[in-house]
Amino acid sequence: MEAYRSEGRLLNGNELAHFMRRQRIAIWLEEDQQLDPRYLPLLSPNTLVLYAARKPSWDGKPVENERKNGFPSTPIEFSGVMQFGDGSTVLANTTHDYVEQTYTATVPLFKQVEVDGKQVTVIEEVEETRTRTVAVPKVRQSRIAADAFSLFEMGGKRLPPSEIETRLASPQTVVHVAAGQKVSPWYRKLLALDALVLAERKANAR
């Protein structure tokens, strides 16, 4: 396992031990995952990023209910957002289509052959055609009415329309909160205080 701070600095063993002396909030990445760079500006500089250089050797076990206290029950959603000169605001979400993909794999084939009157095992490499399900990313864009959302900073500041226009003049990544939902205070340990939170005020506002 490797441990980084969100600004990209690799921690040595002593620094990681110092961080882990008390309960820490961290982002966990498996060996085949990468942290989307669009999310980095939203993270607190002290947020830990743990990267599994190989698959964990331990068995995953459910966490007892009494140890779940204080942890959020649902994940947060990130979206891209931009406001145009005519006042229209566009949300961009990345979804995935799952499709079957055919590929060729080279596999060993063990065969028994006779050599000098003795049976020996030889290995030949053969090609097999296999199928797998892959996720194909797809960007979905939708417009949201100006009176259908509020924009906050994670620290709690609500932005007035003039500041919204300034902050969203270029594409931004925001924490997207659906109507009727809230962001758990738990995430304040993970996100920067000036991270933008777009909270919808109306359902089906797009």
Q: Give the model confidence (pLDDT) of 50-105 as tens digits.
A: 777 655 444 445 545 544 455 555 567 888 888 888 878 898 888 888 899 999 99
Asked whether residue 194 is assigned to any structural domain, the reply reads no
**Which has more pLDDT, 130 or 1?**
130
Q: Report the C-alpha gap between 111 and 98 in whole angstroms.
A: 37
Asked whether residue 120 is assigned to any structural domain, the reply reads yes
As a whole number, mean pLDDT of residues 145-169 equals 89
Would you state the pLDDT for residue 58? 43
Q: DSSP readout, 1-68?
A: -EEEETTSPBP-HHHHHHHTTS---EEEE-TT----GGGGGGB-TT-EEEE-SS--SSPP-PPPGGG-
Asked whether residue 190 is assigned to any structural domain, the reply reads no
Asked whether residue 198 is assigned to any structural domain, the reply reads no
Per the CB < 8 A criterion, the answer to whether 147 and 206 are in contact is no
Question: What is the residue range of 106's domain?
Answer: 102-135
Asked whether residue 187 is assigned to any structural domain, the reply reads no
Would you state the pLDDT for residue 114? 86
Verify that 55 and 2 share a domain, yes or no.
yes
Which residues, listed in sequence order, are joined to residue 198 by a DSSP beta bridge? 151, 176
Asked whether residue 91 is assigned to any structural domain, the reply reads no
**Which has more pLDDT, 109 or 70?**
109
Which helix H or strand E contains 99, and what residues bound it? strand 89-115
Verify that 107 and 55 share a domain, yes or no.
no
Would you state the pLDDT for residue 159? 93
As a whole number, mean pLDDT of residues 117-136 equals 90
Would you state the pLDDT for residue 69? 52
Which residues, listed in sequence order, are joined to residue 118 by a DSSP beta bridge? 115
The total domain count for the chain is: 2
Which residues, listed in sequence order, are joined to residue 114 by a DSSP beta bridge? 119
- Of 61, 84, 112, which one is at a domain's C-terminal end? 61
CB atoms within 10 A of CB 96: 10
Write down the residue that tokens 């966990």 correspond to.
28
What Rg value do the Cα atoms of the chain yield, rounded? 24
Asked whether residue 128 is assigned to any structural domain, the reply reads yes
